[in-house]
């Protein structure tokens, strides 16, 4: 039961991250926000695991390649898409598009695990595609052929694919490694990749965050990363990627509710798109 509560809390923390991230990229470069978010998380997680259970160096070496994929593709690419996407799309839109990720995860479990693609999953996939299209075009599907879509929405679609890959790797490819070790190790890979990327491509991103961004960075680093990523990996290992991914359905709901409290207006198209995406995910992830 506690595992399910943790997954719900993950959804809540990640919903709030869209608002915190939207604020952070308004006062600092997106790459810098990503770097300091994950650096903060690793500074907390590395000594915590060392004191709590010690590092399983043998298990880490045995699972090196899956951890590299999780850190570089699943976390770095996802967050690059998210933070740069938030520069040109709303927090609510970003969370709604990310709700498409569970459908991709469900399809991935079919491809990797040999499961049959049932009628319910096909129907869910089609509903999810329609819902995402409705969100990114602001209710006018003709915009796909007339004026296109926002760059941020396209980036978030790429981010949903990266997150689906992150969810598929642990249960299928990581063996004999505790979830906390797996989550923390993937974040260490993330931070090392980000520091190298910043040093080469954008040294200005290495500067300390401005005072205005301190609390959003601490929230995202401590709660939405150090705590939530460990909880998420526990859930994926215990109940499987497809079922755990279903909890992502709660993110757009929590984002909308928190957005209303922050004075963000919600359009009818966004509500309808959310309903289609969430309904599609529920069908696609059915056991």
CB-based contact 48:119 (threshold 8 Å): no
* pLDDT given for residue 147 in this prediction: 46
**H helix or E strand, kind and range, residue 241:** helix 241-245
d(CA 213, CA 32): 11
> Cα–Cα distance between 225 and 1 in angstroms, integer?
22
Please count the residues of the chain: 287
CA 54, CA 80: separation in Å to the nearest integer? 31
Tell me the three state secondary structure of residue 178: coil
pLDDT at 113 (0 to 100): 64
Q: Does residue 97 contact residue 164 with C-beta atoms inside 8 Å? A: no
| Residues of the chain with confidence (pLDDT) below 70 | 1-3, 113-118, 121, 125, 132-133, 135-149, 241-243, 264, 281-282, 284-287
Per residue in 201-232, pLDDT (tens digit) is 889 889 899 999 899 999 999 999 999 988 88
The per-residue pLDDT for 102 is 75
Q: Using alpha carbons, select from 155, 169, 171, 181 the residue that is nearest to residue 54.
A: 181
Query: Taking each helix axis from N to C terminus, what angle separates 78-85 and 151-173, rounded to the nearest 10 degrees?
Result: 160
* pLDDT, position 248: 77
What is the C-alpha to C-alpha distance for residues 179 and 272, in angstroms, rounded to an integer?
36
Find the Cα–Cα–Cα–Cα dihedral 100, 106, 108, 110, rounded to 10°.
-150
Domain boundaries, the chain: 2-284
**Global pTM value:** 0.79
Query: What does the pLDDT read at residue 19?
Result: 86
d(CA 120, CA 110): 13
Report pLDDT digits (tens) over 126-165. 777 777 667 656 666 555 555 456 788 888 889 888 988 8
């Amino acid at each position: 039961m506690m595992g399910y509560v943790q997954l719900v809390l993950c959804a809540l923390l990640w919903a709030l991250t869209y608002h915190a991230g939207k604020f952070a990229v308004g006062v600092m470069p997106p790459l810098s926000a990503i770097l300091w978010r994950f650096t903060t998380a690793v500074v907390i997680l590395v000594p915590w695991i060392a004191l709590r259970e010690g590092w399983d160096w043998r298990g880490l070496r045995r699972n090196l390649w899956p951890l590299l994929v999780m850190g570089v593709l699943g976390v770095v690419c996802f967050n690059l898409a998210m933070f740069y996407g938030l520069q040109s799309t709303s927090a609510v839109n970003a969370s709604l598009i990310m709700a498409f990720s569970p459908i991709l995860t469900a399809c991935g479990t079919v491809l990797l695990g040999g499961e049959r693609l049932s009628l319910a999953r096909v129907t869910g996939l089609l509903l999810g595609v329609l819902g995402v299209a409705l969100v990114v075009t602001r209710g006018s599907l003709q915009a796909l052929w007339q004026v296109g879509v926002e760059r941020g929405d396209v980036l978030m679609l790429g981010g949903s694919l990266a997150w689906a890959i992150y969810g598929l790797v642990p249960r299928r490819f990581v063996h004999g490694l505790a979830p906390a070790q797996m989550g923390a190790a993937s974040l260490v890979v993330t931070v090392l990749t980000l520091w190298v990327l910043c040093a080469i491509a954008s040294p200005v991103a290495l500067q300390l965050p401005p005072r205005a961004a301190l609390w959003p960075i601490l929230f995202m680093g401590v709660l939405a990363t150090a705590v939530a990523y460990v909880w998420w990996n526990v859930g994926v290992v215990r109940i499987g990627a497809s079922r755990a991914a279903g909890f992502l359905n709660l993110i757009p709901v929590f984002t909308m509710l928190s957005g209303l409290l922050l004075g963000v207006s919600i359009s009818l198209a966004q509500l309808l798109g959310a309903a289609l995406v969430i309904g599609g995910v529920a069908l696609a992830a059915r056991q």
